[in-house]
Chain A
């Protein structure tokens, strides 16, 4: 109960600077643009040891020599990397926000309908409703609060902002950071390595079942600011942890860059469930504004019988470029990917997964549900590969696309590489259009058009929603409905 009170208090404290879609508080910025001094500035703000700064600077050097990838089915104007701020933080945690009245009523209405992310404290309060959730709240470039730390510490679980882990648990960070997603893995991951600002760090010791769900709530607030969070989760031998990530951003006319990196390490017999409800601002109906979401998420099933499950509900962002993947290194390790990706209006998503089978008798499962509406484009891109030594590797892939209306597009791009004769891969794919017959049938029973679309879509994505922790499944279901409003007729 003490923990519940703690959280309630924490949430009350949050309220002070968590109002509205644009929280109007004084913030401290790095100088606009990106150079080695920006990297030094961020590192200094985080009070980092020299080894961390060196790591960042090396990443920055490498990034300068890299080119932005262009293989995804996405079209967007060139990103001006010098036109953004790379660090923004509330200057004074007691600075009061201005009133909600200043927020665009359309936005207020949207989020009131959702019953949540209007004010962070409501989201967090919703989470408190089930007291078994610990929350790390990240606001632009800093973590503002982490709840339940004490109770988790009693179980031996470390849950804190990454910057704190760099200072307090340098050995763990040094041992694992960049080992799943190497510094120069790709253009955006490399940029992140140089300028990452905040994110969560989780370590679950051997044999410990984390006593509650962990979650991080990311919020972009400042204008012309990129967010570059970095999350590192380590599940030691025989441990278990379930983690949920949520995110929102204010509505702005400019595009904002979000380039995150998430690394998961599962050792022998460990299990990690990682769920995302991604609700970044998607831009308006004409495609103006919205978040550019270039994210690298990867899990390493480093030990035998390790298991990682990714579940994602992607409704936001103007551009999504994201492939949560599993390296199935340990023998008999298991990777799962469950995804709902919704695009409406002029959103573009190129998302999917990679299942890299390296160990013997490794198994993976991919269930992807893509929904396109409006004039959007939705691409599933996935790789399933088996190394010569991955004898007995098995994969099952189910890839379904649902089209709503006549001007959207769905693409499925699966890559399958079996380098041994004893791998067993199955791939099923369907593309269907939301049928007028079904809509009429449902409306004849009394549902209006919006309700009818919601019901049909929720039926379509049910297999994936079932994989989410229950509270978030409900949230995700509402989100699905709101994302598709006005998509028919």
Chain B
């Protein structure tokens, strides 16, 4: 599904990714862990095509299609979704309007027709209920005045509504209390499917108790420096990132 080969990327003059390679097959959940400044968020921005993140070498493909040549909206239409670490506020645009516009833009780019309004609303109600969200929240300006936890829940809501093929969760657990973490995790787990894959970026092991990864990778110094099963996350929780940080340096 997602295949990254020898990826080098820079922000301004600083090279952040230095030859990162990674394969995430369909149906799997991979976790990326690593110390602060390792390049975790950079990886998510490079994959989704943010301005200012310049790829100097290497490739990234989704089901064999080159992602790096596409603009962010085209990548989204191909089924790439990023749950932001810090979701943005969009004043004056109700969440429902926002998601419906996004969904229809994606469908248009794929040559599909618009989703009929009744069907959309029905899905929105069911999804909101499963995430224990107050439906009225969806009629207010997107994320405006929301708490950190509410914003994260809104990200998962958008993810469920857009049903992407490849999901990147960037520090989704930050700012969540234990109840919210459980609800959000259930939302993420509900998205697991044989034709879908996820990359879960996290600093702590906590989220991985709820969203069980098939593989764990350690990102340090702009490269994957270790890979293993779920047990690697536990080991990191105990011993920290020091040895990898040193290795990377």
A458-B93 contact, Cβ under 8 Å, with A446-B77, A446-B162: yes
Q: With A440-B50, A462-B92 given, name 14 new contacts (CB 8 A).
A: A435-B88, A436-B52, A438-B90, A442-B90, A442-B102, A443-B76, A445-B98, A445-B99, A446-B105, A451-B73, A451-B105, A455-B98, A456-B93, A462-B93
Determine the distance from Cα of A447 to Cα of B73 in the docked complex, in whole angstroms: 5
The reply to whether B162 and A463 contact each other, CB–CB distance below 8 Å, is no
A420 within 8 A of partner (CB): no
Which A409-451 residues have a C-beta within 8 angstroms of B?
435-438, 440-449, 451
B residues near A452, Cβ cutoff 8 Å: 73
| Interchain residue pairs with CB less than 8 A apart (15) | A435-B88, A441-B88, A442-B102, A444-B73, A444-B84, A445-B98, A445-B162, A446-B73, A447-B73, A447-B101, A448-B71, A448-B109, A451-B101, A455-B93, A461-B92
Q: Which of B48, B92, B98, B106 contacts A460 (CB 8 A)?
A: B92
The reply to whether B51 and A440 contact each other, CB–CB distance below 8 Å, is yes
Which B78-123 residues have a C-beta within 8 angstroms of A?
81-82, 84, 87-88, 90-93, 98-99, 101-103, 105-106, 109
The reply to whether A446 and B90 contact each other, CB–CB distance below 8 Å, is no
A444-B48 contact, Cβ under 8 Å, with A455-B101, A456-B93: yes
A residues near B101, Cβ cutoff 8 Å: 447, 451, 455
A residues near B51, Cβ cutoff 8 Å: 436, 440
By beta carbon, the residue of chain B nearest A457 is B92
By beta carbon, the residue of chain A nearest B102 is A445
Determine the distance from Cα of A436 to Cα of B45 in the docked complex, in whole angstroms: 13
A445-B158 contact, Cβ under 8 Å, with A440-B50, A455-B98: yes
In this complex, the member of A441, A444, A456, A463 whose beta carbon has the largest number of chain B beta carbons within 10 angstroms is: A444
Q: Could you list which residues of chain A lie within 8 angstroms of chain B, going by C-beta atoms?
A: 435-438, 440-449, 451-452, 455-456, 458-463
A residues near B82, Cβ cutoff 8 Å: 444
A residues near B92, Cβ cutoff 8 Å: 458-463
| B36 smallest CB distance to A (angstroms) | 20
B residues near A442, Cβ cutoff 8 Å: 88, 90, 98, 102
The reply to whether A444 and B90 contact each other, CB–CB distance below 8 Å, is no
In this complex, the member of B75, B105, B106, B141 whose beta carbon has the largest number of chain A beta carbons within 10 angstroms is: B105
Q: Could you list which residues of chain B lie within 8 angstroms of chain A, going by C-beta atoms?
A: 48, 50-52, 71-73, 75-77, 81-82, 84, 87-88, 90-93, 98-99, 101-103, 105-106, 109, 141, 158, 162
The reply to whether B84 and A441 contact each other, CB–CB distance below 8 Å, is yes
A446-B48 contact, Cβ under 8 Å, with A455-B93, A460-B92, A462-B92: no
The reply to whether B91 and A460 contact each other, CB–CB distance below 8 Å, is yes
Determine the distance from Cα of A442 to Cα of B82 in the docked complex, in whole angstroms: 11
Q: Which of B88, B106, B141 contacts A437 (CB 8 A)?
A: B88
Determine the distance from Cα of A267 to Cα of B213 in the docked complex, in whole angstroms: 73
Determine the distance from Cα of A441 to Cα of B50 in the docked complex, in whole angstroms: 9
The reply to whether A443 and B73 contact each other, CB–CB distance below 8 Å, is yes
The reply to whether A438 and B88 contact each other, CB–CB distance below 8 Å, is yes
| B201 smallest CB distance to A (angstroms) | 15
B residues near A438, Cβ cutoff 8 Å: 88, 90
By beta carbon, the residue of chain A nearest B45 is A440
A residues near B87, Cβ cutoff 8 Å: 441
Determine the distance from Cα of A459 to Cα of B81 in the docked complex, in whole angstroms: 23
B residues near A449, Cβ cutoff 8 Å: 71, 73
A residues near B81, Cβ cutoff 8 Å: 444
Q: Which 8 A-B pairs have CB atoms at the shortest separation, nearest pair first?
A: A459-B92, A446-B106, A445-B102, A462-B92, A459-B93, A446-B76, A443-B72, A441-B88
Determine the distance from Cα of A461 to Cα of B81 in the docked complex, in whole angstroms: 28
Determine the distance from Cα of A442 to Cα of B158 in the docked complex, in whole angstroms: 12
Determine the distance from Cα of A455 to Cα of B99 in the docked complex, in whole angstroms: 11
By beta carbon, the residue of chain A nearest B109 is A446
By beta carbon, the residue of chain A nearest B78 is A446
A residues near B76, Cβ cutoff 8 Å: 443-446
The reply to whether B105 and A448 contact each other, CB–CB distance below 8 Å, is yes
Determine the distance from Cα of A459 to Cα of B94 in the docked complex, in whole angstroms: 9
